[in-house]
Amino acid sequence: MADIGTRGFASDNFAGAHPEVLAALAEANGGHAAAYGQDPWTDRLGEVVRSHFGDAARVFPVFNGTAANVISLQAVLPKWGAVICAEGAHVNTDENGAPERVAGIKLVTVPTAGGKLTPALVETQAWGFGDEHHAQPAAVSVTQATEVGTTYTPSELRALAEQAHALGMRLHVDGARLANSAAFLGVPLREITTDAGVDVVSLGGTKNGALMADAVVVLDPALAGGLKYLRKMDMQLASKMRFLSAQLVALFEDDLWLRSASHANSMAQRLAAGLGSLEGVTILYEVQANGVFCRLREGAVELARRRFAFFDWDNKGAVRLMCAWDTTEEDVDAFVETVGDAAADGQSPFSAP
């Protein structure tokens, strides 16, 4: 039995499923429905996705974000293609070699400031076209929001898409936290995907209240034909797909995706403000989604960890604190109070600014 009293900031993956998602699953569980996506929920999901991303969008539900990323990149790459991404991009740091081992993809990485690629940075790796000794740059992949919680603006994405397309490449968005970025920017999902020239999106659901559901959303119809084969080859074709689709419909049909992401973002803002009010604390990045990155001395980290789950971010005392759809003001204030009490007790927990 899970300890339902335990709270923390380790990951938005730690949160349970949203009650509205569970209710949708229960409703989908009644009676029989055709398998492998030939069901009313998957049909409805297609309509919902098109309402957000445009009439050309096609959606392919999968079990998790790793699969969404791998399949998305497979769809846009020739066998000899390479992907340019930030050194800290999720596909490079947290997929445990899945792009390389499952799809045979070469990732070409670029160091970034604040986690974001720019056309100038992409240009450092977008070369060697036509050289048989050089992996051919064929796609750019960005994480939205980035692994350090920053968000690409529509204009930043548009500049990357225009550059990629001019060079014959595609633009992929790893949107595990796309909802958080849209909520931060105050824009519809379409504005940071379709309208910005993005070709394919890994659409996140699990981190925003789903039980187990993400999707590949293809924005260029020319890419859609191979997706159904790739999804099956990569063992992501759900026989009872209605249960994946029902979760995503519950999230995106109305405004649950936005309500949940906006709440998580606001809790992160509250957390950053509270920690930032403590003497000597260093907030490492501007909070533009639902994550707070800060630097604490080891003593404070260990004291706080007695009450809350969270992850170390590096070996220099930095920690990552993630808020979720169910994070409460009480959770946030208790964490800030715990860290503040450590300082008040003379156990100076913070590194120098």
Q: Are 213 and 86 in the same domain? A: yes
Q: Are 221 and 270 in the same domain? A: no
Q: DSSP code of 282? A: E
Q: Are 182 and 272 in the same domain? A: no
Decide the pairing of beta strands 106-110 and 58-62. Answer: unpaired
pLDDT in tens, the chain (353 residues): 445 557 899 999 999 999 999 999 999 999 999 999 999 999 999 999 999 999 999 999 999 999 999 999 999 999 999 999 999 999 999 989 999 999 899 999 999 989 999 999 999 999 999 999 999 999 999 999 999 999 999 999 999 999 999 999 999 999 999 999 999 999 999 999 999 999 999 999 999 999 999 999 999 999 999 999 999 999 999 999 999 999 999 999 999 999 999 999 999 999 999 999 987 789 999 999 999 999 987 678 888 999 999 999 987 779 999 999 999 999 999 999 999 887 666 544 433 33
Query: Which of 254, 272, 294 corresponds to the end of one domain?
Result: 254
Q: Are 242 and 316 in the same domain? A: no
Q: DSSP code of 107? A: E
Q: Are 271 and 174 in the same domain? A: no
> Which residues constitute the domain of residue 289?
257-344
Query: Which of 206, 236, 254 corresponds to the end of one domain?
Result: 254
Q: Are 112 and 191 in the same domain? A: yes
Q: Are 108 and 135 in contact, with CB atoms under 8 Å apart?
A: yes
Nearest Cα to Cα of residue 217 among 197, 181, 193: 193
- Domain tally for the chain? 2
Prediction pTM value: 0.94
Query: Which of 254, 289, 320 corresponds to the end of one domain?
Result: 254
